[in-house]
Structure formats: structure tokens, C-alpha cells
Amino acid sequence: MLKMMSSLSLLSRQKLIINNNISKLFSTNHAFDLYNKSREGGEVVSVLKLNELRDNPGAIKKKRRIGRGIGCSKGKTCGRGHKGQKARGKVHPWFEGGQTNFIKRIPKRGMKNRNATPMLGINLGKIQDYIDMGRLDPTYYSEVRPLNMKDMVDVGIVGKSNSIQHGVKILADGANRLRTPIRIEASRASESAIHAMESIGGEITTVHYNRLALRALLKPHKFSILPKRAKPPPRLLPYYQSYKNRGYLSPQVQMKQLLRNKPELVAKENENAVAENDSDTNNTENEETTTEKEEK
């Protein structure tokens, strides 16, 4: 029996050796090695392929699997010990053993409004300084189109586009130096700034920009298709519908823009006004003649 067992083990070993030799012969790497060795004076070149890319041995250490019996050395309690809060769940870092924690002990003061939209203030005096330096063309921004927030960033009135978080508000500081009439388009404007600009023949229009529209205005190169500008939310709608604030949704401002874009309407309106004046004068003359006849 022992001789039989030893002979079988020898046969199985011989079969394994033969199989390994055959697999080496038919493997691509071994074939390349044989080909390179056959060349005269050539060096053995091993070809690296994508399917053979792997980490160095020992570079990755397998994670210990816990809770798989005593053979893994972390079975049963998994290294947490017996009972207690740490064995059953997690303890938060700010837990102080049950006493009032530090965050609740310190006094609180003031509040932070999550719905606040702080505006970046730009004074009229600064705009006039940039006009005097020649960095703003007053004829272009009075006849062609209004000065917007993108132009302020490009010229340097605003340092960086990232400093404009929710918009720009036009303020009246330095209004006594203002002497060049231009058109300005901003998110907000003070009443004194509007009065100062309109007193010299300029114009200020307040326009609503949400975060997406503001980003599209300041950084248009980041959009393949520019999104449409959203309407103001209900809480801001009264501000932009008021002519007192020169809101772009007020009927008076929209009528001004319509007449500016279509000058033929102005001519028609003037003709109608002249025709109405002529008809009024004719009516008054007829009334005077009728009264004179009645008196006679």
C-alpha cells in the first residue's frame, strides 16, 4: 500500500511539472523570451501589457475582517470589549460626560440673517473719477448702452468679479463732483444717487440678477448657452416695480426703453400731439365764434 501511495504521489508531481512547462511554452511572455534569446547578441526584452499592471507585492495590506470567529483574533466582541456605550454605538466628540457642553455654556449675541443679500456699494464720485481718467467713455455709456456691473469689473471700479456676491448698489457719495451724464444699470440705487444722476441728465435703472444670472453676466465665457434672466421673487417684486426706485419693471421705465429703441414711435407721438393741439385750437375758435353769434 505504501509503495502504491508513493508511486501515485510521484505521478501527480510529474503531471504538475509537465502542465507548468506547457503553460510556460504557450504563454506570450515566455514566447517573447525564447524569441529574444534566439537572436544573436540580443537582450531579453519583456513586453509590459495593460492586463499585467499591478501593485508591487506588499503595497496593499488587506483590511482585517472582524466578527468572523476566534480565528481572526477580532471575533465575538470585535475588539470593543464588553458592554457600555462604546461597545454599542458611537460617542460624539463634543460629549462631555453628561454635563452641559461648552457650546451651550458660552453666551450668544446677535444673529446672522440667512436671507440677507449684501450689496457692494459703488459711489458716484468714483465713477466720475474713472471718467476723468479716460477709463470710461461717457458717450458710449450714454448713447449706445448703459454701464453695467461687468463693465465696472473690466474697468477696475470693482476689484474682482468674486467680490460681487449679490449685486451692486449705487450710492451718492461724491455726487457734488458728478458732471458727466451717463446711463447706469445696477441691482440697487439710493434715492439721492438717482436724484443726483438725473439732475445732470443721466439715468439709473435697477435690475434684478439672481446668482445664476449674475454669474452669467460677470463670467459669460463659462457658459456655452447663456441662461435667461429670472424674474425677481415675490418679496423683491415691489422694489423693481416702483418708479421711485427706477425699477426695470415699472411702466415708466419700460416706456422710456421702448421709445429709445424705437424712435419712430416718438415721431408718431409728436405728430399726434401736434394734431391734438390743432384740434384743440380749432375747437376753441369755434366755441368763440358761436358765443359771439349768440351775443349778437
What confidence tens digit (pLDDT) does each residue in 84-135 have?
A: 988 998 888 888 989 999 999 999 999 989 888 999 999 999 999 999 999 9
Average pLDDT along the chain: 83
Residue 111 · residue 142 · CB < 8 Å = no
Per-residue model confidence (pLDDT) at position 3:
45
CA angle 97, 101, 103 (to 5 degrees): 160
Per-residue model confidence (pLDDT) at position 8:
42
* Higher pLDDT pick, 165 / 278: 165
Per-residue model confidence (pLDDT) at position 37:
55
Residues 193-226: tens digit of each pLDDT: 999 999 999 999 999 999 999 999 999 999 999 9
Rounded to the nearest 10 degrees, the angle between the axes of helix 251-261 and helix 263-295 is 110
Question: Lowest-confidence range among 11-20, 108-117, 138-147, 267-276?
Answer: 11-20
Is residue 4 over pLDDT 50?
Answer: no
Per-residue model confidence (pLDDT) at position 233:
93
Residue 142 · residue 211 · CB < 8 Å = no
Per-residue model confidence (pLDDT) at position 25:
46
Residues forming beta bridges with residue 205, ordered by sequence position: 185
- What percent of the chain shows pLDDT beyond 90? 51
In this prediction, residue 261 has a pLDDT band, given cuts at 50, 70 and 90, of confident
CA angle 34, 35, 37 (to 5 degrees): 65
Q: Which three cell numbers stand for residue 184?
A: 447706469
* Higher pLDDT pick, 202 / 32: 202
Is residue 14 over pLDDT 60?
Answer: no
- What percent of the chain shows pLDDT beyond 70? 76
Q: How far apart are CA 157 and CA 129, in angstroms?
A: 10
Residue 167 · residue 119 · CB < 8 Å = yes
